[in-house]
Amino acid sequence: MGKPVFYINGKFVEENEASISIMDHGFLYGDGIFEAFRAYKGRIFQFNEHMNRLYDSAKIIALNIPLSKEEFKKSTVVVYVVPLPGMKKDRSIRIIISSYQRPSACILPGSSKMTQYINLILARMEAKARGVDDALLLDTRGFVSEGPGWNIFLVKDRTVITPSIASSILVGITRNVMIRLFKELNYTVEERDVVVSELFTADEIFGTGTGTEITPVIEVNGRKIGEGKPGPVTNRIDEKFKEFKKDNGTPVYE
């Protein structure tokens, strides 16, 4: 892992040189948006999809971006670059169902990638305090929502199930790719409300995200999921995803 690199207002700087004004509105009040990209061998994965979500996030909180998408691609204000590990089959995680919930869309729009991450941070802290790897949050109705920075998928027989946008989730870029790839593999895909009991009866569970790609979940609240190891469907979609990302990157602008 190399040192993080920041690109701010036309200059590459190290972390200790990257700074913003103490009067910055996002720093004072937490109203801001961001986007995370992943690059493979110099090519940004799903670049247009990430840019579209960035601009949608801005529209939701009435934030004006004074650049077109194409201008933004060539003149980014801040870039934070750090190497990330790929998915390993031994990266299976154990999770808990958090006591914290994802707020409803009338409280905080979940479809906007905003800087309001405090309840996700608290959920992850709770998981660490209980000796597991991560947490899963429910929505305010009691249905399964998402993890801190990742979407969840369940496999039951040949049906793949994931919470819908009504469950206060961020509509993940990797999540959308998974749905597309599963349909290409002729799996039935359901986007709907998911109840907690479905977690315990699932054959397999895995999470998806830009930073983590695909992460098998082998335990929820101390209960083993399936065989307690990455299942065949998880492994199959991981291989399919590896094939997909080879041909779906945008060269980094020089």
Residue 252 belongs to a domain: no
pLDDT over threshold 70, residue 16: yes
Q: What is the pLDDT of residues 60-105, one digit of tens each?
A: 777 787 778 777 766 755 655 565 554 444 689 999 999 999 988 7
Averaged pLDDT, 201-222: 94
Q: What is the per-residue pLDDT for 100?
A: 95
Q: Do 73 and 192 fall within a single domain? A: no
Q: Do 59 and 97 fall within a single domain? A: no
Q: What is the per-residue pLDDT for 254?
A: 37
Residue 87 belongs to a domain: no
Last residue of a domain, one of 81, 114, 141: 81
Structural domain span for residue 27: 5-81
Last residue of a domain, one of 46, 81, 116: 81
pTM above 0.85, yes or no: no
Q: Which of 113, 183, 224, 246 is catalytic?
A: 113
Last residue of a domain, one of 81, 101, 119: 81
Verify whether residue 113 is a known catalytic residue. Answer: yes
- 51: domain CATH number is 3.30.470.10
Q: Do 153 and 190 fall within a single domain? A: yes
Q: What is the per-residue pLDDT for 63?
A: 79
Report phi then psi at 98, rounded to 5: -70, 155
Residue 102 and residue 119: Cα distance in Å, rounded? 7
What's the total number of domains in the chain?
Answer: 2
**What torsion do the CA atoms of 205, 207, 212, 215 make, to the nearest 10 degrees?**
0
Q: For the chain, where are the alpha helices, taking DSSP H only?
A: 25-29, 47-60, 69-74, 118-129, 173-184, 196-201, 232-246
Contacts of 107 (CB under 8 A, 6+ apart): none
